[in-house]
Amino acid sequence: MTIQTATDSIAPLSISPEEDRPLESASDADAGQGYVNYGLMALYQVIIRTGWIFKTESIIMPVVLDVIAGQAWVRGCLPMLNRFGQSIPPILASRRVHSTAYKKYALALTTSLMGVTFWALALLWLTTSEESFWWTPIAFLMLYAVFFVSTGVNQLVFGTATGKFIFYHHRGRLMLVSNALGVVCAVTCAWVLLRSWLSEASANFFAIFAFTGSCFLAAAFICLLLVERPDSFSNESNGVRALFRSTREILSGDADFRRLVLVASLFGMSTTLFPHYQALGRQRLDLGLDYLLPWVISQNVGMFLFSVPAGWLADRYGNRLVLRTLLLAMCAAPLLSLVLAQLGSVGGEYYFLVFGCVGATPVTIRLFQHYCLELAPRKIQPHYLSTLNLMMAVPAILTSTLLGALLDTVGFAPVFLVVVGCLALGWFLAKDLIEPRKVNRKVG
């Protein structure tokens, strides 16, 4: 069967892992370049991780919205904006990413935009922190929407660059190395800086936002050092309809990919709870802002602890086994938060464990992307990745604000248990996923 995409006419596909290789050859010179790029890609992720710990969507940013607004439905806008920015814009940008000769410049540009946006948030907080105006939450969410759009395209470019620079059997190792170094750097910075920026009753959000923006700008500079051969992919289609037609045709022509996006969509429901874990802990257990520090550290340490076995197992045995295991582990965060919220002071002391479980989320997302890269021919990997991001985001886009509003009426438990059910269903359906590197796959 032939799949017509927005950019390519693809002959009947028999995809093996050997076809999913970077552009670099096996020559000694190119191997040296590969090591350089491997190190730079790891360093890039370390710097991004260091900035990201100061703006976690599950802890820091929802607390900011609680300070300037307070309603759960406003807090619930964060997952909607997050998933929208990481789904629709990548679809629209996938053709441009596909045809861009140098992926490193696209990566540097999108990372720079992330940094500039956070400096804008810092200046917004500096000018309005003394008195919160009615328009402050609106301006905050608008700027954050720009950040999410930049992040969505950035993740598409990063995934494409990973497919170009890093061999498939080294991607788990890259995730492991960057997470190991990243957690050390991020936790150290958080421990040193957040202790002076957070107190029980107040927080220096200007410093937090400015530091985050500076980290992203530094990471953008690292991108420019990548050693890259230009791509020569053509750009043959025009119009938004062609882009979404490409998405529809990939889904209709690739049964294995359809199974993947179904599981990814159910997993995507977990992101709707991100802003509400901290609210449950602070409201039910009466915890101050000083508890944010152990929570952000716990989340990053949890990410590292999940990534260590996940990266090794994925490289050795494939992504399917690890994805199923992580989906089951993801059920622990909402269940544990509900239990600890009933335990008073004891629950407060151990509530950091909830965010340790939440740390599995970015690891799971990265493994979904690695699995997708193995399914897709390298020439159209941006289309596969953007389609995956879209389908993973749809549930959060449609339900996050509604679930946030329901929290104020029915409480935390019913909403959290619905999400647990979605994760359990995704775990069950993941048993039907193939292991791409072990089969000669026919598309259609």
* β-sheet bridge partners, residue 14: 442
Q: Say if residue 220's pLDDT is above 90.
A: yes
Cβ-Cβ contacts under 8 Å for 286 (sequence gap 6 or more)? 348
Tell me whether residue 348 is in a domain: yes
Q: What pLDDT does residue 60 have?
A: 86
Tell me whether residue 430 is in a domain: yes
40 or 99, higher pLDDT: 40
161 or 108, higher pLDDT: 108
Closest Cα partner for 177 from 310, 77, 59, 32? 310
What's the residue count for the chain? 444
- Single-letter residue type at 55: K
User: Would you give the distance in Å from CA 34 to the centre of its chain?
Assistant: 25
Q: What pLDDT does residue 118 have?
A: 94
Q: What pLDDT does residue 357 have?
A: 92
What is the average pLDDT across 124-129?
80
Quick check: helix, strand or coil at residue 4?
A: strand
Per mean pLDDT, which range of 132-146, 209-223, 428-442 is the poorest? 428-442
- Single-letter residue type at 217: L
Number of domains in the chain: 1
Q: Say if residue 1's pLDDT is above 50.
A: no
Q: Say if residue 6's pLDDT is above 70.
A: no
Q: Say if residue 253's pLDDT is above 60.
A: yes
What is the average pLDDT across 200-215?
88
Q: What pLDDT does residue 234 have?
A: 60
The answer to whether 306 and 326 are in contact (CB under 8 A) is yes
* CA atoms of 122 and 53, how far apart (whole Å): 16
Q: Say if residue 411's pLDDT is above 50.
A: yes
Per mean pLDDT, which range of 161-170, 200-209, 278-287 is the poorest? 161-170
Which DSSP category does 39 fall into? H
**Average pLDDT of the residues of the chain:** 81
371 or 94, higher pLDDT: 371
Q: Say if residue 29's pLDDT is above 70.
A: no
Tell me whether residue 444 is in a domain: no
What is the average pLDDT across 107-118?
94
Distance, first Cα to last Cα, the chain? 5
Q: What pLDDT does residue 3 have?
A: 38
* CA atoms of 346 and 333, how far apart (whole Å): 17
What is the average pLDDT across 399-417?
87
How many CB atoms sit inside 10 A of residue 251's CB? 15
pLDDT in tens, 256-308: 888 899 999 999 899 889 888 988 988 888 888 888 889 989 988 888 888 88
Closest Cα partner for 325 from 299, 360, 353? 360
Q: Say if residue 250's pLDDT is above 50.
A: yes
Per mean pLDDT, which range of 37-41, 82-86, 170-174 is the poorest? 170-174
Tell me whether residue 112 is in a domain: yes
Tell me whether residue 217 is in a domain: yes
Cβ-Cβ contacts under 8 Å for 281 (sequence gap 6 or more)? 287, 291, 295, 337, 340, 341, 347, 348, 351, 354
Q: What pLDDT does residue 303 have?
A: 84
Quick check: helix, strand or coil at residue 254?
A: coil
Q: pTM to 2 decimals?
A: 0.75
Per mean pLDDT, which range of 15-24, 50-59, 127-136, 337-346 is the poorest? 15-24
Q: What pLDDT does residue 50 have?
A: 92
Q: What pLDDT does residue 120 have?
A: 94
Percentage of the residues of the chain whose pLDDT score is greater than 90: 24
Closest Cα partner for 213 from 275, 150, 272? 150
Domain span at residue 395 reads: 24-228+240-437
Pairing status of strand 14-15 against strand 9-10: unpaired
Tell me whether residue 6 is in a domain: no
DSSP of 49-84: HHHHGGG-TTTHHHHHHHHHT--HHHHTHHHHHHHH
Tell me whether residue 372 is in a domain: yes
What is the average pLDDT across 349-374?
89
Q: What pLDDT does residue 58 have?
A: 80
CA-CA distances (angstroms) from residue 341 to 145, 257, 280, 334, 404? 31, 39, 7, 11, 18
Percentage of the residues of the chain whose pLDDT score is greater than 70: 85
Q: What pLDDT does residue 132 have?
A: 66
Q: What pLDDT does residue 263 have?
A: 93
The answer to whether 264 and 334 are in contact (CB under 8 A) is no
The answer to whether 444 and 254 are in contact (CB under 8 A) is yes
Q: What pLDDT does residue 129 have?
A: 65
Confidence of residue 34 (pLDDT cuts 50, 70, 90): low
Tell me whether residue 113 is in a domain: yes
User: Two tokens at 75?
Assistant: 């807090």
Q: Say if residue 112's pLDDT is above 60.
A: yes
- Single-letter residue type at 149: V
Longest dimension (CA), the chain: 64
Q: Say if residue 386's pLDDT is above 80.
A: no
CATH code of the domain covering residue 404: 1.20.1250.20
